[in-house]
Amino acid sequence: MEFKIIESDAKNILNASKVYKYTINPYTGCTHGCHYCYARFIKRFLNINNDWGIFVRVKVNAPILLAQEIRRKKRGEVWISGVCDPYQPIEEKYELTKKCLEILIDNGWPVYIQTKSPLILRDLKLLKSSPYVDVYLTITTGDDKIRRLFEPDAPPIEDRINTLRLLHKENIRTHIMIAPLLIGAETLVEKTKDFIHSVLIDRMNYHYADWVYRKHKIEWANEESFFRHKGNEIKRLLDDKGIPCELLF
């Protein structure tokens, strides 16, 4: 598959967020192309005809903008990223996430990174240099067969779990974001209990992946009863192990 890479200059990069004070998105679009991705909505604002998952807008001036904006904005928590995976494959070439992280860490800003990618291990030395870094690995299921139905181009589950393990070993605060909550997510508790600080769980909040449930006859796993039952089950398992867990629904 041929991906469309669009290099362009952004007007700003350190933006207000409802999750943390700020968010930074070095890229728009994501080649992981997860079928359920809530960020698909942004496509209609970009005048791009390509399907979601096969285009990425690269904000080539992101580090320059950040260096300017950080001097005039009040220090606050920064979420990397809200509408893209900051460590999707193209980051290996452009290193925009790394360059933005260097600026944030040099200025002592707290950073919350959300990714599905083992590429974050490339920046291990940088992450270790700050006491204000938390890493969330998005892991939606413990079953890689289910992962392939919903996230066919995203890293395998075991790769993400191993990434958590290696980050935790280096004393970086590590967390799991189970969002959306998919079949088999309860098996993550035993697989990760020794190297996570907390877990956030959210249901399927958008309908982009409804066709996946229909195609594979698993509509029952897209119903409110499933999310409530499975979310509470995982929370109980984590509570028993003393691991904080928050249900976002």
Q: What is the pLDDT of residues 164-213, one digit of tens each?
A: 999 999 999 999 999 999 999 999 999 999 999 999 999 998 899 999 99
User: What is residue 8's three-state secondary structure?
Assistant: strand
120 & 6 share domain: yes
Contacts of 18 (CB under 8 A, 6+ apart): none
Domain match, 186 and 197 both: yes
The reply to whether 8 and 125 lie within a common domain is: yes
- Both 9 and 131 in one domain: the answer is yes
**Among 118, 137, 156, residue at a domain's last position:** 137
Residues 128 and 143 in one domain: no
Mean pLDDT throughout 41-55? 65
Q: Is the pLDDT of residue 45 over 60?
A: no
Residues 163, 129, single domain; the answer is no
Choose the final residue of a domain: 117, 137, 157. Answer: 137
Residue after which a domain boundary falls, among 137, 171, 193: 137
Whether residue 43 has pLDDT greater than 80: no
At residue 95, does pLDDT exceed 80?
Answer: yes
What does the DSSP 8-state code read for residue 221? G
Both 67 and 89 in one domain: the answer is yes
Same domain, 120 and 143: no
Report pLDDT digits (tens) over 129-170: 999 999 999 999 999 999 999 999 999 999 999 999 999 999
pLDDT at position 6, please? 87
Share of the chain above pLDDT 70, in %: 94
Asked if 149 and 81 sit in the same domain, the reply is: no
Is 157 found in the same domain as 113?
Answer: no
In this structure, the answer to whether residues 147 and 244 fall within a common structural domain is: yes
**Least confidently predicted of 21-30, 31-40, 199-208, 220-229:** 31-40
pLDDT at 48 over 80: no
DSSP string, 14-75: SEE-SSSSEE--SEES-TT--TT-GGGGGGGGTT--SPTTSEEEEETTHHHHHHHHTTTS--
Total structural domains in the chain? 2
**Domain that includes residue 26, residue range:** 1-137
Q: How far is CA 8 from CA 14, 56, 135, 160, 232, in A?
A: 16, 10, 28, 30, 44
Q: In terms of domains, do 104 and 20 share one?
A: yes
